[in-house]
Structure 1
Amino acid sequence: MNITLKAEQEKIVQVLLATGEFNNPDEVIQAALRLLEENYREYQQWLEEVRVKIDEATEASKHTPPIDGETYVAELLKRFQQAREAQK
């Protein structure tokens, strides 16, 4: 596989090579791909956790009486105010 880098990407590779931490451009690209893969796995894990929380909240809401938006926001603001006062 051949990859063409943009000028700014080539500059990044050159700067990293100049640090002495990498011996050649392949090592820089391998490190970048490892980080990308790690970031992607973490994102997928976060996404799954959010989906589970949404599913749990959806299930819990089936057993909780509905609340109108104004009441919810007022209660939320009340909690924020209480938390702010507790920090003083």
Structure 2
Amino acid sequence: MASVEKVSIALTVKQISSLRGAVEAGEYASTSEIVREALRDWEVKREMRRNEIERLRRAWDEGIASGPGRSIDFEAVRAEGRRRLAVIKAKP
């Protein structure tokens, strides 16, 4: 294991109970193991969030660069959607 540094965190009674319950059930060797896994999951989610924000920024920039918007005939879009759905439903 990499070098370890102890830190102190504040948890609710319910959170501590959940941690201890998982350890007592044999799901984890220690509460520290649970917290380390939670941090690894958080790091993955954090990176995914960063990537999604970057993707959205690129999409925004592409949209701005594509020029001004134009009007859409929503009734025509709905009609086309209904037509396509009917074709899909009609297939065996």
TM-score normalised to structure 1 length: 0.75
Q: Matches of 1:28 and 1:3 in 2, distance apart? A: 13
Q: Distance in 1 between matches of 2:60 and 2:76?
A: 21
Provide the residue aligned with 1:48 in structure 2: 54
Structure 1 runs of 4+ aligned residues shifted over 6 Å read: none
Q: Which residue of 2 aligns with 1:30?
A: 36
Aligned residue in 2 for 1:6: 12
Show structure 2 runs of 5+ residues with no match: 1-6
The residue that corresponds to 1:59 in the other structure is 65
SS in 1 for 2:19: helix
- Distance in 2 separating the partners of 1:19 and 1:79: 56
Query: Which segment is superposed worse, 46-55 or 36-45?
Result: 46-55
> What is the deviation of 1:67?
2.4
CA RMSD of aligned residues (A): 2.0
- CA, structure 1 residues 15+77, in 2 after alignment: closer, same or farther (shift >3 Å)? farther
Which residue is 1:80 aligned to?
81
Instruction: Give the Å deviation of 1:80.
Output: 2.3
User: SS of 1:68's equivalent?
Assistant: coil
What is aligned with 2:45? 39
| TM-score under structure 2 length normalisation | 0.73
Percentage of matched positions with identical amino acids: 18
Distance 1:76 1:9, change over 3 A: farther
CA, structure 1 residues 68+45, in 2 after alignment: closer, same or farther (shift >3 Å)?
A: same
SS of aligned partner of 1:23: coil
Report how many residues are paired.
Answer: 83
